[in-house]
Amino acid sequence: MRYLIAFTLLFSIFLGFGQVYDNEDDEENKEYDTKSDFFDYKKRLYLGLNNSFYVDFITSPVGTFQIEYAEPGGGVRYEDAAVQSRYLSYFTIAIEPRYNLVDFKENLALAMSAQLAAGFGSAYAASEYAASAEGFGNFQIPVMLRLYYGASATHAAQDDFGVNIGAGYELNKIGLLNFAEDRNPDLNRAWIMPAVALGVHFYRGSSPMEVNLKYGFGPIQNQKIDNFGNPILGRRTTRANSIKLSFTYLLDN
């Protein structure tokens, strides 16, 4: 619920400040050439600058790391223990290239996008039953197949408003900067999970921009041990996920 409220509030504020850019349909552009060469990057390549403030949450999957115990008679033994982290990025910045694979018409296109995002935030334990990743910052790389309709679908689109939907996979890693001498790499493993996205396009003044909401989700997991390696009584299920509200400013539209 808090994610939905934050999304609605921020989106309403941005739309309130936005000015609609009136692009009248031009009769000369009705016949848009959809048969351009696939490698004609001047017509098919788009580049955006993306950022997000505070609405960027990540939960890692449950993993294990080894914890060391001293034996009463000397020596040590190792036990598996659970690790699962939550992460809040205070600020995330990204470069988002997009390449139109198929231009069906001037305001409808199928594209591949890959966002290279770096966040500045902190991690903490996802629950009292798990240890947490160590360090500061994160990176996230969602690669998606997306369908664009309306504004910014192609360079020739004349619409004032547009939408896009997408699905793919994203790579996540929490805790990029960790200067502790006894750091444990098993606490900061990267992972890949499916992701879906929904976006809207409009104009602020004469500048095209997008508002995107992305959700990543992993499989449901049964957690059987806690952060000390002790068995958990009863059934405890969890899953990896991410949610991010971001704004993209198109640089070459």
Predicted local confidence at residue 43, as pLDDT? 84
In the beta sheet, which residues pair with residue 77? 69
Output the pLDDT for position 72: 82
What pLDDT shows up at residue 40? Answer: 80
pLDDT digits (tens, 9 = 90+) for 111-139: 999 999 999 999 999 999 999 988 889 99
- The reply to whether 136 falls in a domain is yes
Query: Which pLDDT belongs to residue 200?
Result: 97
Neighbours of 74 (CB within 10 A): 6
State the pLDDT at residue 31. 57
Residue 198: which CATH number? Answer: 2.40.160.20
For residue 225, being part of any structural domain is answered with: yes
Query: Residue 185 sits in which domain range?
Result: 2-21+44-250
Residue 52 lies in a domain: yes
The reported pTM is 0.80
Q: Is residue 15 part of a domain?
A: yes
Residue 81 is assigned to a structural domain of this protein = yes
Q: DSSP character for 128?
A: T
Regions in the chain scoring below 50 on pLDDT: 1-5, 7-30
104: left (phi over 0), alpha (psi -120 to 50) or beta: alpha
Q: What does the pLDDT read at residue 29?
A: 46
Q: Looking at residue 176, what is its pLDDT?
A: 84
Q: What is the pLDDT of residue 206?
A: 81
Total number of domains constituting the chain: 1
